[in-house]
A and B are shown apart, each in its own frame.
Chain A
Amino acid sequence: SAVISQKPSRDICQRGTSLTIQCQVDSQVTMMFWYRQQPGQSLTLIATANQGSEATYESGFVIDKFPISRPNLTFSTLTVSNMSPEDSSIYLCSVEIGGSGANVLTFGAGSRLTVL
């Protein structure tokens, strides 16, 4: 299994500012996934980050709002830009680890953002 370190664990942000979340994995992985989980809601995939190429964004998410970096095979960042209260959520970094016939998602501890 992989160990994922994610920071910050939580933050309170002002409207209009931007915050960058960092995700470090203890092994090299091809893809890293960024999810959002709003209170009482399902996990929603924001984008998939591949090393050496632009991230692939899901419907409803755009690069200008959620720029992603993936400088190497163990690290990625997600920036939440020009934040509004609607961006208050938990943001989760994850990677897939294969085994037992399944590619299992392992998550970081999450970053809980509150936008005032």
Chain B
Amino acid sequence: GQNIDQPTEMTATEGAIVQINCTYQTSGFNGLFWYQQHAGEAPTFLSYNVLDGLEEKGRFSSFLSRSKGYSYLLLKELQMKDSASYLCAARDSNYQLIWGAGTKLIIKP
């Protein structure tokens, strides 16, 4: 079956760096997405990786290793507003999105 695994919850300190991991098992692969979802709000797009390597976008970076079925989202210089859930989603060979349950990130001052 198809599956996405990511930690349920993580805690980090304001100003620090945190890495949220995601492993996926899909039938074929057509890219991996990271979304941010604040409580009570809709998910918003953060990043997309389809080739191996690191994609950097400001304070946020996303990494992909297709051979390992692994991705991570790296958040630097954490701010209180980064407290949110982070959803990992992989697109399979049928272009269907398989979603993880999300990682709730708690930022402490």
Residues of A that sit less than 8 Å from B by CB: 40-45, 92, 100-110, 112
Q: Are A100 and B48 in contact (CB under 8 A)?
A: yes
Per-residue CB contact flags for chain B residues 14-48 toward chain A (1 = under 8 Å, else 0) read 00000000000000000101010000111111001
A-B contact pairs, 23 of them (CB 8 A): A40-B101, A42-B4, A42-B100, A42-B101, A42-B102, A43-B87, A43-B99, A44-B99, A92-B42, A100-B48, A101-B50, A102-B50, A104-B33, A104-B45, A104-B48, A105-B33, A105-B43, A106-B45, A107-B42, A107-B43, A107-B44, A109-B42, A112-B40
A43 to B102 CA separation, bound complex (whole angstroms)? 9
Extra 13 A-B pairs, beta carbons < 8 Å, given A42-B101, A102-B50: A41-B101, A42-B99, A43-B89, A45-B96, A45-B97, A101-B48, A102-B31, A104-B45, A104-B48, A105-B35, A106-B45, A107-B43, A110-B41
- Picked from B40, B44, B48, B102, the residue with its CB within 8 Å of the CB of A102 is B48
* Chain B residues with CB below 8 A from A43, complex form: 43, 87, 89, 99
Give, as a whole number of angstroms, the nearest-CB distance from A55 to chain B.
15
Q: Are A105 and B101 in contact (CB under 8 A)?
A: no
* Chain B residues with CB below 8 A from A103, complex form: 95
Give, as a whole number of angstroms, the nearest-CB distance from A38 to chain B.
10
* Chain B residues with CB below 8 A from A109, complex form: 41-42
